[in-house]
Amino acid sequence: MAEGAQPASAGLPRALPACAALLLIVAGCAQHPQHSNKQTEAQMLALLAVLPGTYDNSAQAELEARNGARPAHVAVALTITHVFAPRLGHYVYYAQETAADDPRRVLTQKIFSFQFDEKQRAIIETLYQLVEPLRWRDGQLNKDLFTSLVTEDVQAEGCQLFWKKKDADFVATHDPKVCPDAAGGAALPLAEFSAGVLTIGEYKFRKIH
């Protein structure tokens, strides 16, 4: 719910049974799907406004090394850049990971494509591998390179991520109906963005700029 918005249950008598209150809330949501869609789309734009930038997990790596953690995470730098690749969508990002102490040592290259799914009222991220990674290496320094990117240049990777706003944070999970958790439980967070910290799996990247 947007900040300052009045919840659908505001003004209900305190003695109103919980089930009756729930029915009123559900009815209120059903009557305003367009408002919900606009709200979710606005949340996607808010996420994408802060996601691009340069990150590293040096603090995590240093702390684990001091504490003798085994295996400790290696220090990695991550750059996420908005690029113009119309064949993959409007909100497309190039992500390149390098060794934190040597930007010439490229570890991974990915394409992230975000879209707002009006039917599911969800922010959906599709991750792509590049078929010829060397062709796009250091693409953050030459963003025009991606105008020629076509669907044959990428391969979708695994399941899509569903991003949702949770308080002041954004959390991404798999759609449990499509990619159920191995243990059969609720979908576990796979990525999270909170106050300049991007968590991907067990890696905690702090935004540098």
* CATH (domain of 102): 2.40.128.590
Which is nearest to 168 in space by CA: 35, 47, 7? 47
φ/ψ (deg, to 5) at 48: -70, -20
Residue 145 Rama label (left phi>0; alpha psi -120 to 50; beta):
alpha
Average confidence score pLDDT of the chain: 84
- Asked, for residue 20, whether it belongs to a domain, the answer is no
Task: Establish if 30 belongs to a structural domain.
Answer: no
What pLDDT was estimated at residue 121?
Answer: 84
104/36 Cα distance (integer angstroms): 45
- 67: tokens are 């504490």
Reported as type and span, the H/E element at residue 33 is helix 33-50
Structure confidence at residue 109 (pLDDT): 97
Phi/psi of residue 82, nearest 5 degrees? -75, 130
198 belongs to a structural domain? yes
pLDDT score for 116: 94
For the stretch 90-122, pLDDT in tens is 999 999 999 999 999 999 999 999 999 888 888
Tally the domains of the chain.
1
Residue 22: per-residue pLDDT: 33
Distance CA(15)–CA(189), nearest Å, equals 37
Range of the domain at 152: 45-207
Domain-embedded: residue 37: no
Is residue 147 over pLDDT 70? Answer: yes
- Determine, yes or no, domain membership for 34: no
The whole-model pTM stands at 0.79
With the C-alpha atoms ordered 130, 134, 140, 146, is the resulting torsion angle positive or negative?
Answer: negative
Q: How crowded is residue 156: how many other Cβ atoms within 10 Å of its Cβ? A: 13
Residue 174 vs residues 117, 161, 186, 189, 209: alpha-carbon distances, Å: 15, 5, 10, 8, 28
**Is the residue at 2 inside a domain?**
no
The residue behind tokens 């390179």 is 145
**5 or 14, greater pLDDT:** 5
Residue 174 lies in a domain: yes
Pick the more confident residue, 184 or 171: 171
Q: Which residue has the tokens 């991550």?
A: 78
Q: Is residue 81 in some structural domain?
A: yes
